[in-house]
Amino acid sequence: MSKKFTNNITGIQEGLHPQNLAFWYDVIIKESKEMAPAWLVDKINVKQDPILPMKFNLDISKRAVRYFMMAVDNNLHKMPISTKLYFLKVEETLSDEMDKSLV
């Protein structure tokens, strides 16, 4: 039982490693660009901070946010639990920012 618990904790920790998050950002950005119209492709980017590897700067047009969110939703089932929670929080933050711009 303790081995199973240890494996679960290790899996959760690995899901939040910067290289794991960078991998999922790459997958999501690639899929977003495939779904988006040609004129929006160059408006979907993410950059990982070289000094703070857990910090990602999402540079995305407001018109492209829905393609990003659809790509996140399409990939959530493939992600580890902690990575899934991270990207759900990213979606929530994007939704809040989009709501602020409407007010």
Angle (CA) 76 77 82, round 5°: 65
Where b means 16+ CB within 10 Å and e means fewer, 15-29 reads: beeeebbeebbebbb
Query: Does residue 64 carry a pLDDT above 70?
Result: yes
Q: How many CB atoms lie within 10 A of CB 97?
A: 11
pTM: 0.84
Whether 88 shows a pLDDT value over 90: the answer reads yes
* Amino acid 16: pLDDT: 79
> What are the sequence ranges of the domains in the chain?
2-102
CA distances to 8, 51, 81, 98 from 48, rounded to whole Å, are 27, 9, 21, 22
Q: Is the pLDDT of residue 103 over 80?
A: no
